[in-house]
Amino acid sequence: MKKTIRLSQFEDVKNFVLAAGKCNFDVEILNNKNVIDAKSILSVLSLDLSENLTVEYDGYNDSFEEAIKAYSAA
């Protein structure tokens, strides 16, 4: 699955990374040509948070889906 999100504050990043960390599948953020591990708070904080982010994952987790909805940029 591929979704577009917006993480504009530190609290957003923290909550998103916590939700991704509960997934038993890989969650990645695509940034230009780079692939970032969405379960790493330092990696996510290194991104330009003024832009929309593309999240890619292959699995399902209820709390993660809620996080995706909460931060949806669409």
Which CATH number is 11's domain given?
3.30.1340.10
pLDDT tens digits, one per residue of 26-63: 999 998 888 999 999 999 999 999 999 999 999 999 99
Number of structural domains the chain divides into = 1
Check if the beta carbon of residue 7 is closer than 8 Å to that of residue 49.
yes
Would you say the pTM of this structure is higher than 0.75? yes
Location of structure tokens 């609290």:
11
DSSP 25: S
Range of the domain at 15: 2-70
DSSP 61: -
